[in-house]
Amino acid sequence: MSTAGRGRLRALGLVLPLLLFILVTFVAPLATMLLRSIHEPAVADALPETVAALGEWDGEGLPPEAAYEALARELVRARGERTLGKVAGAVNRVRSGLRSVFTRTARDLRDVGAGPWRDVLEGIDPAWAEPATWHAVRQTGQRFTSRHYLNALDLQRMPDGSVARQPEERRIYVSLLWRTLLVSAVITVLCLLLGYPVAHLIAHAPERRANVLLALVLIPFWTSLLVRTTAWIVLLQTQGVINDLLVAVGLVGDDGRLAMIYNMTGTIIAMTHVLLPFMVLPLYSVMRAIPGQYMSAASSLGATPAQAFFRVYWPQTLPGVGAGSLLVFILAIGYYITPALVGGSKGQLISNMVAYHMQTSLNWGLAAALGGILLAGVLALYMLYDRLVGVERLSLG
């Protein structure tokens, strides 16, 4: 083997542990999760013959007897194999109320020996006489489905195959998505407004003072996220430090205490604070590389301080502004802990909904679809940035 080949092999050997680590802990879970958003085999695996029989059905009226017969047989088997719960859950998500129909039907079928199965099933539960029930079974019987993405966008597939909006009271995700984007944009702008002067101060201060200031920016960064967020609760709550101070000074009455936490205000304040270092650090690294001579040159050429800033300084900091904004925005739209702790019911973001579907409703497909949309949004943003500014100019400090 050539020396170069051996060298390459050794290099590969050195990065292999990290490569495997990333593969196992990042790429694989991400891929599985994204797959779940389009792949749901529970019904197809448990009720294969029913699904096949429903394939013959034209969707008008009720399905043929063969479908009833297959369903009756497979429900009993699924109950025995303990896959019934999964099937009932999947169907129930398409048409609520069907969970109990499935479990009751499977239970009652134990005592029935022979058909006609249509009469038997309709006898157990009248839901089997409704075409909508069978549409739900057929829909969930597809292994690959766009259902979760439609759901995540407040859409649904009608029995005739067309796509329509969810009924008014079930539309939540699109507005939440927009709210997440809006809040993230607000947080990004706030971080930029607060972080730019600080970064400028640090970048152009004498080294000793710059180190102290930089440490002040980084210390909260190194503090536990939970501690910082809890500190904001102490400060912002109705009986908290800030409200007490405002009352003591007389700016607000004791009965007019401001609601600054457990709502969107709390989420925005706490998240701006948490994400501020991600804005300051890229800005600082870009600003430090800008010699003070440029500003001197601008003023010697006749520019006012404002002209020198906006024409000479600001454009040179744009790579840092872009990097910081991109970083803060991307982190903000996926942020979970802070809104969960200080957001109350009004300050929740899309990630909290993902967590809800992961942990409470167990609708992992929908959670995966919401996550997939978020990921697509971030990638789109990244590409937009690349197109406008160029990723190679991204400076993360």
Binding residues for other proteins, rule: CB under 8 A, are 291, 293-294, 296-304, 307, 311-312, 315-316
Least Å distance, CB 208 to other proteins, is 16
Least distance (Å) between residue 326 CB and other proteins: 19
Long-range contacts of residues 106-115, Cβ cutoff 8 Å, at least 24 apart: 106/75, 106/76, 106/78, 106/79, 107/79, 109/72, 109/75, 109/76, 110/76, 112/72, 115/65, 115/68, 115/69, 115/72
For other proteins, the closer of residues 13 and 291 by Cβ is 291
Residue closer to other proteins, measured from CB, 298 or 370: 298
Pick from 192, 138, 133, 160: nearest CA to 332: 192
**Nearest distance from residue 295's CB to other proteins, in Å?**
9
Q: Give the torsion sign (CA, 359, 363, 368, 374).
A: negative
For CA atoms 313, 319, 322, 327, the dihedral sign is: negative
- What is the closest distance, in whole angstroms, from the C-beta atom of residue 285 to other proteins in the complex? 16
How many of the other CB atoms lie within 10 Å of CB of 22? 12
**Smallest distance from other proteins to CB 205, Å:** 17
Those residues with Cβ within 8 angstroms of residue 30's Cβ, 6 or more apart along the chain or in another chain: none
Measured CA to CA, the distance from residue 166 to residue 175 in angstroms comes to 13
Which residue pairs from 101-110 have beta carbons closer than 8 angstroms and sit at least 24 positions apart in sequence? 101/125, 101/127, 101/128, 101/133, 102/75, 105/75, 106/75, 106/76, 106/78, 106/79, 107/79, 109/72, 109/75, 109/76, 110/76
Give min distance, CB of 308 to other proteins, in A: 8
Nearer to other proteins, 320 or 343 (CB): 320
Residue 38 vs 312, nearer CB to other proteins: 312
Q: CB of 182: closest distance to other proteins in angstroms?
A: 31
Nearer to other proteins, 250 or 302 (CB): 302
Which residues does residue 144 pair with via DSSP β-bridges, in sequence order? 39
For 313, which DSSP code?
I
The DSSP secondary-structure symbol of 289 reads T
Q: How far is the CB of 311 from other proteins (least distance, A)?
A: 7
Q: Which is nearer to other proteins, 175 or 316 (CB)?
A: 316
Nearest residue (CB) to other proteins, 62 versus 303: 303
Helices (H) and strands (E) in the chain — how many of each? Answer: 21, 2
By C-beta, is 124 or 298 nearer to other proteins?
298
Could you tell me the smallest distance in angstroms from the CB atom of residue 96 to other proteins? 59
* C-alpha 228 chain-centroid distance: 22
Q: How far is the CB of 199 from other proteins (least distance, A)?
A: 18
CA–CA gap between residue 88 and residue 66 (Å, rounded) = 21
Is 209 or 346 the residue whose CB approaches other proteins more closely? 209
Q: Which two tokens stand for residue 260?
A: 């600054």
Closest CA to 286 of 162, 202, 366, 222: 202
- Closer to other proteins by CB, 150 or 295: give it: 295
DSSP class of residue 348? -
What sign has the CA pseudo-torsion 220, 222, 225, 227? Answer: negative
